[in-house]
Chain A
Amino acid sequence: MGLLPALLVLALVTLGPALYLIITSLTPLTPVNPDTAFDFSDPLGNYQSILTTDEFWRSVWVQIELSAVTVVTQLAAGLGLALLLDRPSRFLEALRTGFLVPMVLPPIVVAIIWKILYTPDISPLHHLLAWLGLPIHSLITNPSTAIWAIAAADTWEWFPFTMLMLLAALQMVPKEPQEAARIDGANAVQLFWHVRLPYIRPTLVVCVLFRLIDSIKAFPLIYVLTDGGPGGATQVTNYYAFEQTFSFSYWGYGSAVATLMVAGVFVLSIMVNRLGGEAIDE
């Protein structure tokens, strides 16, 4: 059968590593000392120390902040543009492709683009603000603004995703109720709120979940712009796990953090799976 080889390979490359990850998370593995790979004397030790480590909880908080802000801004920008572009016009259809550019660019290129914008010496943004008489200091080296700088770049990169999905949803809204509401004298806001919004609500929910999950994986932007700093201000959980594992060689501990992340993402995925099905069934 055609299905079997693919499922076997898929299992090998996904379930295999997942199992291996969980096993590693039960050991104090560090590459410095190979014996630690099979040391199961304190299987839950990593998890215990995670839960009592302030740095971990701080990274969770930074993650929540970043995810909340970017999901909201991406949804707002995506919805606004989708409403603006959702009209039968050849011209607007051509423009749509242009709006997709940030999303399809390689993430590392997005990171470079924003590194340039945030580096005062060469940034057109900083030059422009100075010219307007509003000079600002570097946003990414200041602990209180760094997270917002990352959020802005992330919003730029991913609003096309919500825009694209919401455009597709808006185009599925049947015409009759909209016509009826218009004849009854509904203005644009009422029309959106009472007629179109109920139709696109399931897509909105799926959008939120997709962006939420992807925001947990944000890496190149943070790596290039702030390296988790300054002073841990932009160290999200993913970055924390990366540093613990690959900078400090705490493989077991890093695996445990990664396992917790997978568990969280899995729960969110089940929600997508349910709600995504509903979005179509309705």
Chain B
Amino acid sequence: MSRRLPFGEGVAVLILAVVLSPALWLLQMSFRHNADIMSTRLTFALTLENYTALWTGQFTASFVNSLLASSMSTAFSLLLGVPAAYALARWRFRGERHIALWILATRMAPPIAFTIPFFLAFTWAGLMDTVTGLAMIYVTFNLALVVWSMRGFFAAVPRSLEEAAWIDGCGVWNAFLRIVLPLAAPGLAATGILCFILSWNDFFYALILTRTRAMTAPVAIVNFMQYAGWEWGKIAAAGVLVMLPVLVFTCFVRSYLVSGLMAGGVKE
């Protein structure tokens, strides 16, 4: 019996190859010498010079800024959002539907609407061009996401377990920390990763609210384009470095991606 791929699978593979080819082109460009970056021949001498140039230049600092701003914002949003999500999942509130709409509106609002007030407030408070300021503004979208998606995960944990703990004299928040949270740990990890990715991917806020000190990696790439005279090799290498963490993380959260991106839009 021949083991050829069925027709549908063959078509799917072909389409996937076409879809991924632009990204793969960026990857191969990052390993080319600047001299043959214009060439489209697929055989070329591999080099790491673009990556070493980035490592020794300013880019490392931007990369660290991106890491810091994303992790700080993720940590803060989880700290605040997780208890709120638990409360929403366990007790009835008036106006729950309004909270859902509010969260959805936060996810939907155009960043420009937040940028103008934050720019003015940051200038006044001395938070312009700081990683802390950036982490704060990422809370605008991360907190809403945490509350919404963790609510779903907590709702899936059976009530009887905490109720048993309460009867044994365990306080509400004690039972939450010891019983509910560990059971929702996979959801917590997925939510944290999604927050990190969303902050990491941000370009707009960082472009406007940072200058030099707190510049993030995405903004640094654009500066390569505008000020450094089109060093395509370096641009490609920086692009690869910026997308790497996201691709790794995505493998872990694939199944949560939809509900995360639609926070507030669809009932769990």
Contact = CB atoms under 8 A, between A and B. Distances in A.
Interface of A: 1-3, 5-7, 9-10, 13-14, 16-18, 20-21, 24, 81, 84-85, 87, 89, 91-92, 95, 97-102, 104-109, 112-117, 121-122, 124, 127-128, 156, 161, 164-165, 168, 206, 210, 213, 216-217, 219-220, 223-224, 238, 241-242, 245-246, 251, 254-255, 258-259, 261-262, 265-266, 268-270, 272-273, 276-277, 279-280
Contacts of A220: 203-204, 218
Task: Determine which residue in A13, A114, A116, A128 has the highest number of CB atoms from chain B within 10 A of its CB, and name it.
Answer: A13
Contacts of B86: 2
Contacts of B134: none
Contacts of B12: 81, 84-85, 92, 95
Contacts of B264: 273
Interface stretch (B43-51, B53-61, B156-164, B244-252): B244-252
Contacts of A24: 116-117, 120
Nearest to A19: B117
A276 B84 CA distance: 23
Q: Which 6 A-B pairs have the closest CB atoms?
A: A2-B83, A6-B84, A17-B117, A20-B117, A108-B218, A3-B87
Nearest to A280: B267
B80 A5 contact: yes
Contacts of A100: 250, 254, 257
A9 B8 CA distance: 50
Task: Determine which residue in B25, B109, B147 has the highest number of CB atoms from chain A within 10 A of its CB, and name it.
Answer: B109
29 contacts: A1-B87, A3-B87, A3-B93, A6-B80, A9-B139, A14-B102, A14-B114, A14-B144, A24-B120, A87-B8, A91-B5, A98-B19, A100-B250, A104-B246, A104-B250, A105-B247, A112-B239, A122-B37, A124-B40, A164-B257, A165-B262, A213-B108, A238-B112, A241-B112, A251-B116, A255-B116, A265-B109, A272-B265, A280-B266
Given A106-B246, A217-B110, A261-B113, A113 B266 contact: no
Task: Name B's interface SS.
Answer: helix
A21 B109 CA distance: 12
B15 interface: yes
Contacts of A265: 105, 108-110
B110 A262 contact: yes
A210 B262 contact: yes
Contacts, number: 237
A106 B243 contact: yes
A102 B19 contact: yes
A116 B232 CA distance: 9
Task: Name A's interface SS.
Answer: helix
B258 A164 contact: yes
B103 to A, nearest CB: 8
Given A9-B143, A206-B265, A112 B112 contact: no
Task: Determine which residue in A14, A99, A276 has the highest number of CB atoms from chain B within 10 A of its CB, and name it.
Answer: A14
